[in-house]
């Protein structure tokens, strides 16, 4: 075991997979000589050369479209979209092409590809450098969507994604890069399967469901709540598609109360799917309404600090919502 | 006649079976492909008209472009990234007529999609034909990616992708030209310019007379060939393939073609095309022109013609029979292959 | 009053708004001389000329991006996207630009624009001519999303959309064009406000929530159910964003049972938002789990008739789900 | 020297204040704008370094391109559709320095966004400056739409939009060129080519030496001007505006400019730019070059220079003061204007 920062865990996974399999290729804007605008791909260009670590022209639809062709041609592309906010030009290539190639060809073609995307707010990034995009993509059959929280998961899920025969959207919260640290198995081939959620903390009074940075906030809230005698089960959802409804329902069965937390706008957000699933399949367990605590319904995160603070969901807001839910 | 025109004519005159080194056997193979494609296409319409197929989208008029271009490929080694008019191209690349009818009728054994896609969405991994979707121009980037993979892996494969001139207005097409030029990839952009994007004439689609003019600004060669003359297309495509094979990069090959039918069985082209325009298309029909050329060159005797005609008819009838006898997909299979299934 | 087909109601609204306000301009692929691939814009080119009924090049991002500029420049664009399946290249222009222009400029600029989009399956359109897209867009703050069911609503909502100062996504189910007929107020200026849902049929045993073609199927199911003694409240949601939660909750309060129906894929679909809202705000009213009946989670609608039938939600499937829910 | 080179030099020699008919007053106004833009920009960096601003994205090096181009507009009538480096352009279009600092510091009275957007996202309806977003190239289509509206409404407005050469790789840019050319719209595409898209050099972005080469393939004129010489840009822009005003359509005006800073305050350019390259940029700094040119032409005396310097300093200081004193936005306003609010 070694303590690693979130960003290093992602870097290491890329490095190891590139070393392990020469079909793996990294491409995107500034991923080469600069090592990525966040430094995630630092050193890969020097080590693996420019044919495998490719500084592309500035065109996201091209990055994904070319990656699909690479996958068909026998490579395993790991495209980076510089900011989640800039993935939208590639929406068609992801939704119509990458996600459907296998289904539409009845298994004649596949599309192994991992799209790495830094997302999320709290970094003074305002409307166009803060967005959460998981709701758009988790809705798409044919895609898998993962959002790691611990460095160990960041590494293990990325490795699994790269080895997956289907396209995976790998969302990394950019605020966590240098903020979150944790133990990562140093030796061996550390992978984490795509699919299972994990209970990060057990408690009997309510379940908190979160992913990415929000797990961090939820765990902090849980500590505060614990001091008040409220014990929260905190479930790190990790994989949004396919969703581990079993672990989710198991938690609700234990606590009878569900608080679903995400940073993305509330209306039509991914939390609705979790809440609807709990309501439908866990109805008998519930003693209170499944409740969502999410980013407000304005276009992403406004810039100025008072506005950004207003937008972001944090431990304090989670604790307050938990108290209300427990008091229901 | 200006010097430029004289040169153009000379260049065209130079394109003969002899200058291209094509044997009679090759010429007759091309002819067979043209006739086969036309016959398959006509049968697709017949199936639609008789209520057996829900929809047709047709390659009639595009056969010269496709046979000329695909004939220049190494059909085993190279990739075809087609579009919905690629009837002739996929036949020549190896798919038998029966498979096209299975696709047309949405049967379980449709090799491209198992009955999941609309007619016209070709694909076949064994023949290195990439699965087609409907959004236009997306496939152009896929062809570029395949060519990048070929370069990194050193396979020597060339990727040929087809699209209409309408699709060149999409961002993806332009992004593809740019990336391919930067990396000098072995990809050929075959733009089959039939003058219309459904009802929208070229004059409303672009401000230049040819799509090939687009190439220079991205740093690749652009050529326009006359799709009524199979050998003109073949000559241009052969040059493009040779360039690609030598590692000199991509070519934008525009081929002007007539659209001999409505856009699809859902369209009525009389609404937006003049009778003259439609009549002129028939005159420049590549099948008709090639037939005449082969006769003039003494390659196609009446006997040979009848033989080929007969063979084509047999294949079409057999293909239709196979397809009509094939089962429809079982709904219990509909959830399969959203994702890869675990191996055995 | 006059009986009109769904398609004629849409056509008439366009015609009247173009005649009423010369700033209104229609643009898209084949909307001019051909009158649209479905015939919705038939005759407008002849009447209003090619400057106001514009056959564009084949490029959806351009259609929306240029429309945004037109709106800024003082026109009221009504772009048509030929099929919902082909709106994806314009995702960035819609989500990042049209929907955010007002918020990001703090009201200095607005973007009046109505994007007309034929959507939906059951027409042998397969994967790429059948898609439902409402979940992607209803999630976007700054957009409004409407899905009419009656010809009167088709006309009235389109007129309201065109006069709205903000961008509206107007989704027309293409199977309804020539299938659905209904009375449309002939005289006067018939508008229907964006926002309110409408109860199409009242019943005490369960509430069925639907929009577009699914209202038709739900009403048919309700007739069948009624013969069996089950009385369904059928709520035509009509506007997905902003959502009329009051009418929805009012219905659940009457029936205590909620069945949410849509054609789009279930996972992360718009039904999750309705279900989550009912679960959270109508918890006390519920006698059974809020239940979703939706398209299965495969990429849009497969082609071959047995597969298409398998995919599509219809009156029979709705009636079966309703029986199960009432028996809960 | 070849005939072509000779002609190029002659053309450049012909661009003088006299041949352009520019008065000393105009030249000094341009000079003032260059100095003001530079000073505003430097102050933005100072605010960032001192921890008062979270972020800077800079126009340093681009001032010659922007002042030259915007000076050719009718600043009251025409539209500017800017990007994040448009410091000089928006100043010249009418925004006072104080407003740029309000934007920089995210204050409630930031006229472009009320503190909602990051620094560098300019916009101002009264000055006909369209609100800027971050995704590159999207704005190019907006400018085209504005020009279409101007044509239909007969307003005679011209739209000038700015973008970097990196953004020309996006589909939207190409779709915009195409549509503008088809409709011969009064729009000018000002591509400020600073050689890099963040760290990616032009050689990895495109296979042609100039962006202007892209124009011909879409059917519009393409010109490359040297952004170190304000008057070269002005001459080219004036021609483009005249063309647009005459109804002859769009122009793609590429201007080569140095990037004098890192991409933004989040970037360290030493990682990917050589010391020589960075040093060379300083030599071709348009502010420096124009200062020398004005001196050589006898327009700028030392006294005048000092006067202008003094005026700029006062304005900057005053602007900073105003901005720093302005309140931050109140969170209770954060939900406003997602949609239009009902009128009174
Ligand atoms: C992205 C997208 N938009 C719209 C359509 C609908 N559509 C299908 S074919 C077509 C016209 C294509 O014209 P062109 O590229 O010239 O090819 P042609 O059909 O003339 O061979 C259109 C608009 C589509 N398939 N994809
Ligand atoms: C669609 C999109 N993708 C990525 C980015 C991130 N990004 C911001 S500026 C930039 C480089 C732009 O280069 P160029 O267009 O040459 O302008 P320059 O900054 O050099 O002036 C990138 C990649 C973005 N803003 N938008
Ligand atoms: Mg065409
Ligand atoms: Mg640049």
Which pLDDT value is given to residue D258?
98
Distance, CA of B157 to CA of A170 (rounded, Å): 31
**Residue B151 contacts residue B128 (beta carbons within 8 Å):** no
| Eight-class DSSP state of D342 | P
Distance, CA of D217 to CA of B211 (rounded, Å): 8
Burial of C229 per CB tally in 10 Å (0-12, 13-18, 19+)? exposed
Tens-digit pLDDT profile for residues B78-95: 999 999 999 999 999 999
Listed ranges C112-126, C181-195, D3-17; the one with the highest mean pLDDT: C112-126
Which pLDDT value is given to residue D6?
44
Question: Which residues share a beta bridge with B251?
Answer: B188
B309: number of CA atoms within 13 Å, CB side?
9
| Eight-class DSSP state of B341 | P
**Residue range D261-277: mean pLDDT, rounded:** 97
- Tokens 């079966």 label which residue? C320
CB neighbours of residue B51 within 10 Å: 7
Proportion of chain D in helix, strand, coil states, percent, rounded to 5: 50, 10, 40
> Domain coordinates of chain D in residue numbers?
3-323
User: Which chains does D contact via 3+ CB–CB distances below 8 A?
Assistant: A, B, C
Residue C16 has pLDDT above 60, yes or no: yes
Of B241, B226, B238, B170, whose CA–CA distance to B194 is shortest?
Answer: B226
C-chain residues near D341 (CB < 8 A): 107
C-alpha distances out from residue C106 to A126, C260, D111, D334, Å: 14, 36, 8, 10
Residue B41 has pLDDT above 90, yes or no: yes
Which pLDDT value is given to residue B12?
59
Could you list the beta-strand ranges (E) of D245-329: 251-256
Q: How many helices (H) and strands (E) does chain C have?
A: 12, 14
Q: What is the CATH number of domain A2-184?
A: 3.40.50.970
D-chain residues near A40 (CB < 8 A): none
Of C21, C34, C92, whose CA–CA distance to C63 is shortest?
Answer: C92
What's the CATH class of domain B3-323? alpha beta
Residues 6+ apart with CB under 8 A from D266: A37, D55
Q: Measured from the CA of B57, which atom of ligand 1 is nearest? A: 19
C-alpha distances out from residue C141 to A127, A321, C145, D155, D336, Å: 12, 23, 10, 33, 12
Query: Assign residue A126 a region: left if phi > 0, alpha if psi is -120 to 50, beta otherwise?
Result: left
**Which two tokens mark A313?**
């969901």
Residue B248 has pLDDT above 70, yes or no: yes
- On the question of a common fold for A2-184 and A198-326, the answer reads yes
Q: Does B174 touch chain C (CB under 8 A)?
A: no
Distance from CA of D190 to the nearest CA of A (A): 18
Residue B5 has pLDDT above 90, yes or no: no
Angle between helices B302-325 and B97-104 (to 10 degrees): 40
Could you list the beta-strand ranges (E) of B129-184: 159-164
**Residue range B106-123: mean pLDDT, rounded:** 98
CB contact under 8 A, C267 and A273: yes
Residue B14 has pLDDT above 90, yes or no: no
Which pLDDT value is given to residue D13?
65
The mean predicted confidence, pLDDT, of chain A is: 98
Distance, CA of C187 to CA of C155 (rounded, Å): 13
| Eight-class DSSP state of A284 | G
Distance, CA of C88 to CA of A93 (rounded, Å): 8
| Eight-class DSSP state of C142 | T
CB contact under 8 A, D106 and A56: no
**Residue C274 contacts residue C242 (beta carbons within 8 Å):** no
Sheet holding C113-119, edge to edge: C53-55, C24-28, C76-80, C113-119, C167-173, C144-146, C239-241
Nearest CB partner across the interface for A108, out of B131, B155, B172: B131
Distance, CA of B210 to CA of A156 (rounded, Å): 51
CB contact under 8 A, D179 and C110: no
| Third-level CATH fold of A198-326 | Rossmann fold (3.40.50)
Residue to substitute in B85, B120, B136, B281 for testing ligand 1 pocket (most ligand atoms within 8 angstroms of CB): B136
Distance, CA of A234 to CA of A201 (rounded, Å): 5
In SS3 terms, chain A reads as CEEEEHHHHHHHHHHHHHHHCCCEEEEECCCCCCCCCCCCCCCHHHHHCCCCEEECCCCHHHHHHHHHHHHHCCCEEEEECCCHHHCHHHHHHHHHHHCCHHHHCCCCCCCCEEEEEEECCCCCCHHHCCCCCHHHHHCCCCCEEECCCCHHHHHHHHHHHHHCCCEEEEEEEHHHCCCCEEEECCCCCCCCCCCCCEEEECCCCEEEEECCHHHHHHHHHHHHHHHCCCCEEEEECCEEECCCHHHHHHHHHHHCCEEEEEEEECCCCHHHHHHHHHHHHCHHHCCCCCEEEEECCCCCCCCCHHHHHHHCCCHHHHHHHHHHHHCC
Q: How far apart are the CA of B199 and the centre of ligand 1, in A?
A: 10
Residue A274 has pLDDT above 80, yes or no: yes
**Which two tokens mark C6?**
């769904």
User: Which chains does A contact via 3+ CB–CB distances below 8 A?
Assistant: B, C, D
User: Lowest-pLDDT range, B13-17, B227-231, D8-12?
Assistant: D8-12
Of B292, B316, B318, whose CA–CA distance to B305 is shortest?
Answer: B292
Residue D335 has pLDDT above 90, yes or no: yes
| Eight-class DSSP state of A86 | G
**Residue A126 contacts residue A302 (beta carbons within 8 Å):** yes
CB neighbours of residue B7 within 10 Å: 11
Tens-digit pLDDT profile for residues A258-271: 999 999 999 999 99
ipTM: 0.98
**Residue range A32-61: mean pLDDT, rounded:** 98
Residue B170 has pLDDT above 70, yes or no: yes
Which pLDDT value is given to residue D11?
56
Residue B204 in contact with ligand 1 by CB distance below 6 A? no
Tens-digit pLDDT profile for residues C226-267: 999 999 999 999 999 999 999 999 999 999 999 999 999 999
Tens-digit pLDDT profile for residues D237-247: 999 999 999 99
Q: Quick one: how far is CA D226 from the chain centroid?
A: 14
**Which two tokens mark B181?**
């030029």
Given the DSSP bridges, would you call strands A76-80 and A232-236 parallel, antiparallel or unpaired? Answer: unpaired
**Residue C68 contacts residue D141 (beta carbons within 8 Å):** yes
Nearest CB partner across the interface for C88, out of A96, A139, A286: A96
Residue D170 has pLDDT above 70, yes or no: yes
Which pLDDT value is given to residue B4?
47
- Taking the CA of A97 as reference, the closest ligand is 1
C-alpha distances out from residue D344 to A16, C105, D341, Å: 63, 20, 9
C-alpha distances out from residue A229 to A205, C136, D205, Å: 9, 40, 59
Binding-face residues of D in 123-162 toward C, CB within 8 A = 123-125, 130-131, 133, 135, 138, 140-153, 157, 159
Residues 6+ apart with CB under 8 A from D260: D58, D60, D61, D281, D282, D285
Which pLDDT value is given to residue D14?
81
- Tokens 């994205």 label which residue? D57
User: Is the omega angle on the peptide bond into residue A242 within 30 degrees of 0, that is, cis?
Assistant: yes
**Residue range D60-73: mean pLDDT, rounded:** 98
Which pLDDT value is given to residue C1?
76
Which pLDDT value is given to residue A31?
98
Residue D34's pLDDT band, with cuts at 50, 70 and 90, is very high
Residue B112 has pLDDT above 80, yes or no: yes
CB contact under 8 A, D198 and A37: yes
C-alpha distances out from residue A129 to B150, C33, D58, D245, Å: 35, 43, 18, 38
Residue B200 in contact with ligand 1 by CB distance below 6 A? no
> Domain coordinates of chain A in residue numbers?
2-184, 198-326
Q: Which helix (H) or strand (E) holds A25?
A: strand A24-28
């Amino acid at each position: 075991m070694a303590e690693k920062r979130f960003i290093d865990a992602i870097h290491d996974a890329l490095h190891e997979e590139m070393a392990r399999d020469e079909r793996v290729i990294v491409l995107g804007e500034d991923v080469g000589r600069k090592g990525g605008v966040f430094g995630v791909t630092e050193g890969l260009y020097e080590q693996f050369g420019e044919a495998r670590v490719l500084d592309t022209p500035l065109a996201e639809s091209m990055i994904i479209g070319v990656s699909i062709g690479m996958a068909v041609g026998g490579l395993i592309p790991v495209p980076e979209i510089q900011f989640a906010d800039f993935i939208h030009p590639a929406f068609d290539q992801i939704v119509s092409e990458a996600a459907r190639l296998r289904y539409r060809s009845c298994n004649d073609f596949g599309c192994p590809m991992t799209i790495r995307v830094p997302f999320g707010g709290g970094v003074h990034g305002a409307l166009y450098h803060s967005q959460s995009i998981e709701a758009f993509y988790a809705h798409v059959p044919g895609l898998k969507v993962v959002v790691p929280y611990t460095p160990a998961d960041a590494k293990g899920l990325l490795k699994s994604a790269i080895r997956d025969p289907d396209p995976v959207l790998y969302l990394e919260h950019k605020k966590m890069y240098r903020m979150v640290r944790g133990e990562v198995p140093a030796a061996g081939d550390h992978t984490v399967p795509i699919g299972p959620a994990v209970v990060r903390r057990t408690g009997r009074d309510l379940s908190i469901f979160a992913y990415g940075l929000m797990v961090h906030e939820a765990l902090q809230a849980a500590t505060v709540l614990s001091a008040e005698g409220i014990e929260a089960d905190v479930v790190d959802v990790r994989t949004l598609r396919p969703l581990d409804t079993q672990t989710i329902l198991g938690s609700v069965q234990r606590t009878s109360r569900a608080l679903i937390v995400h940073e993305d706008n509330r209306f039509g957000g991914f939390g609705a799917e979790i809440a609807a699933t709990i309501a439908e399949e866990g109805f008998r367990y519930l003693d209170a309404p499944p409740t969502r605590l999410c980013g407000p319904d304005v276009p992403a995160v406004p810039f100025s600090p008072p506005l950004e603070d207003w937008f972001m969901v944090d431990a304090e807001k989670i604790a307050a919502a938990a108290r209300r839910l427990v008091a229901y | 006649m200006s010097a430029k025109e004289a040169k153009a004519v000379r260049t065209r005159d130079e394109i003969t079976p002899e200058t291209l080194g094509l044997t009679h056997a090759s010429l007759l193979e091309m002819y067979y492909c043209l006739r086969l494609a036309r016959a398959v296409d006509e049968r697709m319409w017949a199936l639609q008209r008789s209520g057996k197929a829900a929809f047709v989208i047709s390659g009639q008029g595009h056969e010269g472009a496709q046979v000329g271009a695909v004939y220049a490929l190494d059909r085993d080694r190279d990739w075809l990234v087609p579009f919905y008019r690629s009837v002739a191209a996929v036949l020549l690349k190896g798919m038998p007529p029966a498979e096209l009818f299975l696709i047309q009728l949405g049967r379980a054994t449709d090799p491209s999609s198992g009955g999941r896609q609309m007619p016209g969405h070709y694909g076949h991994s064994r023949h290195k034909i990439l699965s087609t979707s409907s959004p236009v121009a997306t496939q152009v980037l896929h062809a570029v990616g395949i060519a990048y993979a070929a370069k990194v892996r050193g396979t020597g494969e060339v990727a040929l992708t087809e699209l209409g001139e309408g699709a060149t207005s999409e961002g993806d097409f332009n992004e593809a030209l740019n990336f391919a030029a930067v990396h000098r990839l072995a990809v050929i952009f075959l733009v089959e310019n039939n003058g219309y994007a459904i009802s929208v004439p070229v004059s409303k689609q672009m401000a230049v007379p040819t799509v090939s003019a687009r190439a220079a600004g991205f740093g690749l060669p652009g050529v326009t060939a006359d799709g009524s003359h199979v050998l003109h297309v073949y000559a241009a495509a052969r040059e493009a393939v040779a360039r690609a094979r030598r590692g000199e990069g991509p070519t934008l090959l525009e081929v002007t073609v007539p659209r001999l039918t409505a856009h699809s069985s859902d369209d009525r082209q009389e609404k937006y095309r003049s009778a003259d325009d439609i009549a002129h298309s028939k005159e420049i029909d590549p099948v008709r022109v090639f037939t005449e050329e082969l006769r003039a060159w003494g390659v196609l005797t009446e006997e040979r013609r009848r033989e080929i005609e007969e063979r084509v008819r047999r294949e079409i009838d057999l293909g239709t029979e196979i397809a009509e006898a094939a089962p429809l997909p079982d709904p219990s299979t509909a959830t399969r292959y959203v994702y890869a299934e675990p191996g055995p």
